């Protein structure tokens, strides 16, 4: 019960991350995005353009040196 309450609190605070997960049932999206293997991570800018593509697993090193800077750059000036 404690875990359930914690999970509900988390979802209430941050929202459900799985509401933004899509399905590419035809495979057309994968072709358009240049997907060729898993795992791959894409960073999009505010206009929906791919500004960074990471192929392979996310490590603490790749997160710090590549993904976080790409997300910050995609977010633009604050």
Tell me: the pLDDT tens digits for 12-64? 999 888 887 788 899 898 888 888 788 999 999 988 899 999 999 999 999 99
The residue with greater pLDDT, 35 or 78, is 35
Place of tokens 């999009």: 44
Query: Does pTM top 0.75 for this prediction?
Result: no
Instruction: List the beta bridge partners of residue 40.
Output: 55
Instruction: Give me the pLDDT at residue 61, please.
Output: 96
Instruction: Give me the pLDDT at residue 41, please.
Output: 92
Instruction: Give me the pLDDT at residue 21, please.
Output: 79
Q: Integer distance in angstroms from the first to the last C-alpha of the chain?
A: 40
Place of tokens 């609190």: 9
Query: Which tokens in the block code for residue 61?
Result: 């090193």
């Amino acid at each position: 019960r404690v875990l359930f309450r914690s999970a509900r609190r988390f979802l209430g605070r941050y929202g459900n991350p799985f509401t933004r997960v899509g399905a590419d049932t035809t495979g057309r999206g994968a072709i358009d995005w240049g997907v060729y293997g898993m795992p791959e991570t894409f960073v999009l800018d505010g206009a929906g353009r791919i500004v960074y593509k990471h192929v392979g697993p996310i490590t603490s090193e790749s997160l710090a040196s590549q993904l976080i800077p790409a997300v910050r750059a995609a977010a633009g000036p604050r």
